[in-house]
């Protein structure tokens, strides 16, 4: 297999595998849209998924080797929550938290001397 | 309508461009393939973590079965996303396949949290535009990263926190819309359990499996309490 053939095959297989994960529920559960269990999941699953995505990615964005482990992400995350409860403007909350996180990361004010 | 969609998807722009660039830079600096393969992957695969995994699979010249399994397993959490969108996407016509194709974590979050009117066709049109805008940001990021390679000058360190902030904001919005904190705590707790027990690559799917199991149990206990248990399996 030449390099280009391999690359094209690779991209095709990856695209099919990714698309499969997204379309399978629509193929197998389409007829059950009105089933109370599907409605139950439709109502509560998004909130649960959002909370778990927030938790996992917050943990991954944290510097656990800093003087106070994880403080960078905790501060920025708390700022998002506070600004959002205060003004309830999604863009403002996201901008404030992201700016705070970038500032902390780029100035390195919370890092330990060892990691520097 | 497009300016409204643009404003709605701005946080995703701030997340997707730097993340797409990270993928593009990784792609051109780790591999010998032509730069255009990076935006092509953003166009036809369209999966953040999936594409980054793809770089290491390409570097290892992985076999096709291996590639399929690795990509499927990594993206398996999307299996659960569709379950809560069956009704929302119903009757979307030609747009439906694209809506399904573009169901990334971030797009799913936007589509399930935003406030909707009763005009279903109009809302599906907005869903479609949100999905398309998000993918455009992603492909732009992939292209920039692949073309610029190591010459990226702007210090955007930390800008990807926009996506974390987006998930936090959407969690608060979900909480307010539902008026029920149970799913939110379940999600956070499931994430905690998954992060302790599983390696990073399997944490999301693990947490989503836990959450779905808990919601199933909650459903069963609600049904048995309301005494209509016998009608469905």
**Which contiguous run of DSSP H or E holds residue B128?**
helix B120-148
**Contact call for A56 and B204, based on CB within 8 A:** yes
- Euclidean distance between CA atoms B191 and A58, whole angstroms: 11
Count CB-CB contacts under 10 A for residue B54: 28
- Euclidean distance between CA atoms A114 and A106, whole angstroms: 16
**pLDDT tens, residue by residue, B158-212:** 877 888 998 899 899 889 988 999 999 999 999 999 999 999 888 888 999 999 9
State residue B70's pLDDT score: 84
For residue A66, give the DSSP letter.
S
**Residue extents of the structural domains in chain A:** 1-32, 45-116
The first and second tokens of residue B7, run together, are: 């404003």
For residue B118, give the DSSP letter.
S
**pLDDT tens, residue by residue, A81-109:** 999 999 888 778 988 999 999 999 999 88
Model-level ipTM above the cut of 0.90: no
> Residue B211: its chain A contacts at CB < 8 A?
45, 48-49, 52
User: B179 in helix, strand or coil?
Assistant: coil
**Contact call for A50 and B159, based on CB within 8 A:** no
State residue B140's pLDDT score: 97
**pLDDT tens, residue by residue, B72-107:** 988 888 988 998 899 899 999 899 999 999 999 999
- Euclidean distance between CA atoms B195 and A56, whole angstroms: 7
**Contact call for A18 and B75, based on CB within 8 A:** yes
**Residue extents of the structural domains in chain B:** 2-176, 180-233
> Residue B171: its chain A contacts at CB < 8 A?
47, 50-51, 54
**Contact call for B168 and A80, based on CB within 8 A:** yes
């Amino acid at each position: 297999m030449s390099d280009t053939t391999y690359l094209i095959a690779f991209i095709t297989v990856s695209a099919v595998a990714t698309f499969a994960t997204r379309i399978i529920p629509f193929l197998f559960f389409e007829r059950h849209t009105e089933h109370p269990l599907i409605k139950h999941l439709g109502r509560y699953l998004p909130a649960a998924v959002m909370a778990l995505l927030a938790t996992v990615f917050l943990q991954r964005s944290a510097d656990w080797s800093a003087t106070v482990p994880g403080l960078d992400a905790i501060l920025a995350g708390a700022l998002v929550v506070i600004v959002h409860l205060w003004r309830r403007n999604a863009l403002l909350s996201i901008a404030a938290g992201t700016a705070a996180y970038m500032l902390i990361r780029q100035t390195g004010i919370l890092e330990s001397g060892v990691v520097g | 309508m497009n300016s409204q969609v643009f404003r709605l998807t701005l946080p995703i722009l701030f997340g997707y461009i730097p993340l797409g660039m990270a993928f593009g830079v990784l792609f051109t600096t780790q591999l010998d393939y032509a730069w255009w393969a990076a935006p092509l992957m953003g166009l036809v695969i369209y999966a953040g973590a999936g594409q980054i995994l793809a770089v290491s699979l390409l570097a290892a010249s992985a076999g096709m079965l291996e590639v399929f399994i690795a990509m499927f397993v990594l993206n398996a959490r999307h299996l659960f996303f569709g379950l809560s969108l069956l009704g929302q996407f119903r009757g979307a016509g030609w747009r439906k396949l694209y809506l399904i194709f573009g169901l990334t974590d971030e797009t799913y979050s936007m589509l399930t949290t935003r406030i909707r009117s009763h005009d279903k066709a109009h809302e599906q049109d907005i869903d479609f535009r949100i999905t398309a805008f998000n993918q455009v940001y992603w492909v732009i990021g992939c292209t920039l990263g692949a073309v610029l390679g190591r010459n990226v000058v702007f210090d955007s360190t930390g800008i990807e926190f926009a996506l974390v902030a987006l998930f936090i904001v959407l969690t608060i919005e979900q909480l307010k819309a539902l008026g029920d904190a149970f799913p939110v705590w379940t999600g956070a707790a499931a994430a905690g359990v998954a992060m302790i027990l599983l390696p990073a690559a399997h944490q999301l799917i693990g947490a989503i499996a836990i959450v779905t199991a808990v919601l199933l149990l909650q459903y069963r206990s609600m049904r048995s309490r309301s005494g209509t248990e016998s009608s469905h399996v």
